[in-house]
Amino acid sequence: MQRARASAPNTVQRRLALTVAAASFAGLVALGPAAAPVVAGMPVVERPWANGCITRTLSPGDRSYQVVCLERRLRSLGYPVAPDRHFDQGTAEVVRDMKRRGGLSGTANAGPDALDYIFGSRRQPVTTWAGRCIFSTLSPGMSTRQVTCLEVRLHRLGYETDRKPHFGPTTATAVRHLQRRAGLQQTGVAGAQTLTYIFGAGRQRIQTWDRNCITGFLAIGMSGEPVKCLQRQLLRLNLLDSSDGNFGPRTQFAVRVIERRNGFLPDGIAGPNTLTKIFQARIPSPVRAGRDELGYALSAVSVAGHRAPLVPDSGNGRRIVYSRAQQRAWAIESDGHMVRSWLVSGSIYDNERRGTHHVYSKSRYAGAVTGAPLTLPYMIRYYKTPRNNHIGFHAIPVRRDGSRIMSVSQLGVARSSGCTRQSDQDAYFLWNWAPVGTKVVVV
């Protein structure tokens, strides 16, 4: 009897303990995931998404089935994401784009606000290009897989770009050129309209020059790598002496030389026809040693006989022919036989009057009209300007210390302010070959 009475309190205590434990468990269940203890450094569980598949913030580097649910949703919205359980750089890039669209900022973490936006019931698929590879606006300075896809397309269209996957100045130039062709604002930023035009089904490959370096016209005031490519070719043609990447007056003058040679309007703009001629042009290989048929030594920029074709419409009889466009002179006998041809360096101004003239005076040495301390050897004058300045041929000017103001290798490009400069050998030849009265034809 006493044993039965003693066990009653124990039974009541056990029942009370079970009741408290059940109540405590029910309280935890009722509170849900938000009541779970927070461990430092672990994402806080907010609420479930994707029908309960995602229950926490997802971050780059995560590997779990919850990442698969996020990736499947992103893929259904048109993004190039593979459900591989890995929150990698590609997934992070897409999440950043979604957060940008939703007006959210910060890292690539897919937190509650980002997940709410991504799994919103009214979310529409995004517009993509290049087989879903590109899904956002691309700007200079970016270095992503999307930029690589853009640059691959630009290459197929014939454009030069920066080294993949960097959106640098060369890629921006190609984008601006396409924007100009499409009638869009030339920002160099590849937005929706620009990308739609670039990836249009009917887009044709453009004509390019110098291994795709030049993709469109070049004109004064422009700068960059395409201008450098043009200048390098003009250097090879001995029409320019440097390539700084800036399309200035000297580059414009060299372009005009090519245009005049080919009968184009000399506007100094390197368009398709002019560029084609520039990159197809070849100059005669100069004879580096030897003598002409009269026994005069040849210079590094002169040839004997008919090795340098004469320009058309250059008169007849015994004469000197000077082509401003080619920066070249010829000595021709009365029977049409060409004795010699050589490169010169004429005036950068329009003071060498075209037409037929005659040599009216010669000086073994002359001084510069400008008063500069220079000596002009073997001067042959054939034209007097309205300001009474004498125009003629002479050797490269010599300074007081005996040095020359330019080298023979720089002949072939207009550099003077009036007269026509020659190498010593060519100036000596002309001084002896052309007496006063010799016809001079300037074309």
What is 31-126's CATH superfamily? PGBD-like superfamily/PGBD (1.10.101.10)
Which two tokens mark 210? 């110098």
pLDDT for the residue 394? 95
The two domains 31-126 and 225-280 share their CATH topology (first three levels equal): yes
How, if at all, do strands 390-395 and 398-399 pair? unpaired
- 92 to 25, 59, 63, 83, 143: CA distances (angstroms): 39, 8, 13, 13, 14
pLDDT of the chain, 443 residues: tens digit per residue: 344 444 444 544 454 444 434 443 334 333 333 333 443 444 444 568 888 899 999 999 999 999 999 999 998 888 888 888 899 988 998 998 888 888 887 788 999 999 999 998 777 788 888 888 899 999 999 998 899 999 888 878 877 787 778 899 888 888 988 888 888 999 999 999 999 999 987 676 666 776 667 767 888 888 888 899 899 888 877 777 778 999 998 899 889 888 888 888 888 889 888 898 888 876 544 444 578 888 888 888 888 876 666 777 788 899 999 998 889 999 998 888 888 999 999 988 877 888 999 999 999 998 887 778 888 999 999 999 888 889 999 999 998 888 899 999 889 888 888 899 999 999 999 999 999 999 999 98
* HEC readout, the chain: CHHHHHHHHHHHHHHHHHHHHHHHHHHHHHHCHHHCCCCCCCCCCCCCECCCCECCCECCCCECHHHHHHHHHHHHCCCCCCCCCECCHHHHHHHHHHHHHCCCCCCCCECHHHHHHHCCCCCCCCCCECCCCECCCECCCCECHHHHHHHHHHHHCCCCCCCCCECCHHHHHHHHHHHHHHCCCCCCCECHHHHHHHCCCCCCCCCCECCCCECCCECCCCECHHHHHHHHHHHHCCCCCCCCCECCHHHHHHHHHHHHHCCCCCCCCECHHHHHHHHHCCCCCCCCCCECCCCCECCCCEEECCCCCCCCCCCCCCEEEEECCCCEEEEECCCCCEEEEEECECECCCCCCCEEEECCEEEEEEECCCCCCEEEEEEEEEEECCCCCEEEEEECCEECCCCECCCHHHCCCCCECCCEEECHHHHHHHHHHCCCCCEEEEC
pLDDT for the residue 25? 37
CATH topology of domain 225-280: Muramoyl-pentapeptide Carboxypeptidase; domain 1 (1.10.101)
pLDDT for the residue 284? 45
pLDDT for the residue 22? 42
Domain segments of the chain as ranges = 31-126, 145-198, 225-280, 302-442
CATH topology of domain 302-442: L,D-transpeptidase catalytic domain-like (2.40.440)
pLDDT for the residue 211? 60
